[in-house]
């Protein structure tokens, strides 16, 4: 893995800003990588994973990295898999996973929703 974008001063005035954005992208990448290793994600132990993950971050705009919630690092893996499937598939790329939602029938949710209704 390496920082392949040039951060030196150049002709453009945005050079410093680009370097700052690149550093932020690298910081988020490192945080996501650490989080995935903490979670024992199966992909994180595959040889070459770090390079593949960096390639994923590098390919996308800086705002992608900055909008990432490191606590949801597995969403990044799903996004990476979907892009990989879409690149090689002849049909749509789909991934399904279990999503847990709050029980709307629970007493706690009933009390909070009852107080939020507008009188008719």
- The residue extents of the domains of the chain are 15-95
* C-beta separation of 14 from 56 below 8 A: no
* C-beta separation of 41 from 77 below 8 A: yes
pTM of the predicted model, to two decimals? 0.60
Q: What is the per-residue pLDDT across 53-96, written as a single tens digit (0 to 9) for each? A: 999 988 888 888 888 888 888 888 988 888 888 888 777 777 77
Q: What is the per-residue pLDDT across 10-28, written as a single tens digit (0 to 9) for each? A: 344 445 566 888 888 889 9
> What is the pLDDT, as a whole number, of residue 38?
93
* CA angle in degrees (0–180, nearest 5) for 59-72-113: 130
> What is the pLDDT, as a whole number, of residue 5?
43
Banded pLDDT at 109 (limits 50, 70, 90): low
């Amino acid at each position: 893995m390496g920082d392949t974008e040039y951060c030196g001063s150049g002709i453009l005035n945005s050079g410093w800003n680009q370097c700052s954005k690149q550093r932020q992208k690298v910081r988020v990448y490192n945080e996501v990588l650490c989080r995935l290793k903490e979670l024992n994600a199966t992909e994180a132990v595959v040889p070459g994973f770090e390079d593949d993950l960096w390639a994923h971050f590098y390919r996308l705009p800086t705002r992608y990295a900055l909008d990432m919630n490191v606590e949801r690092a597995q969403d990044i893996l799903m996004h990476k898999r979907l892009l990989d499937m879409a690149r090689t598939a002849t049909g749509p790329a789909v991934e399904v996973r279990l999503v847990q939602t709050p029980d709307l029938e629970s007493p706690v949710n009933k009390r909070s929703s009852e107080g939020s209704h507008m009188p008719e």
